[in-house]
Amino acid sequence: MTARDAPPSTVPGNLDTAITTPGRELLTVVARHLPAVRSAAARNDRDGTFPAQTFRDFADDGVLGATVPVALGGMGVSRLHDVAVTLMRIAEADASTALALHAQFSRGITLTYEWRNGPPATRELAERLLRAMARGDAVVCGAVKDHPGAVTQLRPDGSGGWLMSGRKMLVTMAPIATHFVVSAQAPVAGGSTLLLAPIVSRNTPGLSVIDGWEGLGMRASGTLDVAFDDCPVPAGDVLARGSVGEHSDAALAGHTVSSITMLGIYAGIAQAARDLAADAATRSSTSPSAAKRTLMAEIDARLYALRATASAAVTNADELSPNQDMDAEERGRRMMTPFQCAKLMVNQLAAEVVDDCLTMVGGSSYVANHPLARLYRDVRAGRFMQPYTYVDGVDYLSAQALHLDRDNNYVSVRAALPVDAR
């Protein structure tokens, strides 16, 4: 085989493969689905169609319960590193599918924490959901960002439970979600507003999923609005999340664990773009120009740095996450700060890789239906993902470096803003 006939290769580096047996088993199962994911990606992106059949297939193969403990029927993938690698592989085929699956993986990880460490009612709720996730019967996603002017609030129903009203936007995986973990507020007369996370099922009276979102990228991720109109919520289905203005960095550990594996998605997008560019260059009838060879070398160097940075951050989180003996606020900062450093660099480097890949391939890639065009749009979603967006991430990292006092809980910060600024 000549160099021109050789397929693109992955640059050796970190995030190469899973490091635990459950993680490797998950990669093996997911690999069976990648050809179908890849073949449907362009069509789903064009039409803005959520890949529902893919997720039914994931459910049948146990993928939707991958991060559920074995004791509850799941695959028992607990290392964030292995989850990030899995999302990277899926994102190489389709970033929208990876982003949606991240929502399920993340809920498995955080609900497992609640099952092991929460009060009795919370443990019971978490176990019920985790067992359903392992069976493929529960699809649980987060609903965090309030729709402009529609603050999501809970108020007592007079019988020990709650009624919830409001509207959330950018709820990924909403078309097939069976449950939503909602960020909500509960004003307290004469006291601080409580931050709560009610878990509500899709068939709750007053809940509606609203279609019509037209995203620039991640168009097949099922990112929609969800509205609540006096939805009844039992007291036992509400998780405590502190209060507005509490300024406790302990929450940063949970924010890190629930979101850091998304770094793998953007590593996957960059890898996919790199492979497309390398394939185009090796299949050309002429030898690559000096400029293209220079770009290729720089692309691989950036990709190596990107993956090494992401791997270091998730490894740090894996090491600190189970450490319940250290100061909770210090633990939160020591998990979040490397995550934000990595997120800043991964978002920057991944976009640069995709940009250079378009330059290498040339004008033929500057059309809407070219795979690189989809990657070009998808990669830019990273800067808008919490925690933190680019602007909030800069604020956080600079405050850490300069020892500035600030509330680092982005949910609390948003809750304290005027309604039209959220």
Distances (CA, A) of 42 to 47, 93, 115: 9, 10, 39
Question: What beta strand segments (E) does 59-161 contain?
Answer: 140-143, 153-156
Per-residue pLDDT of 340-349, as tens digits, reads 999 999 999 9
Mean pLDDT of 206-223: 94
Under a CB-based contact definition with an 8 Å cutoff, are residues 133 and 64 in contact?
Answer: yes
Per-residue pLDDT of 300-312, as tens digits, reads 999 999 999 999 9
pTM score of the predicted model = 0.95
Residue type, 407: D
Q: Is 91 exposed, middle or buried, given 0-12, 13-18 or 19+ CB atoms closer than 10 A? A: buried
- The pLDDT value recorded for residue 4 is 46
Six-digit token string for 178: 């069976």
Per-residue pLDDT of 240-298, as tens digits, reads 999 988 888 999 999 999 999 999 999 999 999 999 999 999 998 889 999 999 999 99
- The pLDDT value recorded for residue 373 is 96
- The pLDDT value recorded for residue 3 is 47
Tokens 């990292």 correspond to: 397
- Residue closest to 381 by CA, chosen among 346, 410, 337: 346
Among residues of the chain, what percentage have pLDDT more than 70?
A: 96
pLDDT at 14 over 90: no
Instruction: Please state, rounded to an integer, the average pLDDT across all residues of the chain.
Output: 94
Under a CB-based contact definition with an 8 Å cutoff, are residues 222 and 173 in contact?
Answer: yes
Per-residue pLDDT of 27-84, as tens digits, reads 999 999 999 999 999 999 999 999 999 999 999 999 999 999 999 999 999 999 999 9
Distances (CA, A) of 122 to 196, 197, 364: 13, 11, 54
Six-digit token string for 142: 């987060």
Distances (CA, A) of 212 to 119, 139, 246, 279, 286: 39, 21, 36, 36, 46
pLDDT at 418 over 60: yes
pLDDT at 127 over 60: yes
- The pLDDT value recorded for residue 2 is 45
Q: How confident is the model at residue 11 (pLDDT cuts 50, 70, 90)?
A: low
Task: Report the SS3 class of residue 286.
Answer: coil
Q: How confident is the model at residue 419 (pLDDT cuts 50, 70, 90)?
A: low
Q: How confident is the model at residue 200 (pLDDT cuts 50, 70, 90)?
A: very high
pLDDT at 163 over 60: yes
pLDDT at 5 over 60: no
Q: How confident is the model at residue 420 (pLDDT cuts 50, 70, 90)?
A: low
- The pLDDT value recorded for residue 1 is 39
- The pLDDT value recorded for residue 413 is 85
Per-residue pLDDT of 355-402, as tens digits, reads 999 999 999 899 989 999 999 999 999 999 999 999 999 999 999 999
Mean pLDDT of 333-352: 98
Burial 141-172 (b: 16+ CB within 10 A, else e): bbbbbbbeebbbbbeeeeeebbbbbbbbbbbb
Rounded to 5 degrees, what angle do the CA atoms 198, 200, 205 make? 125
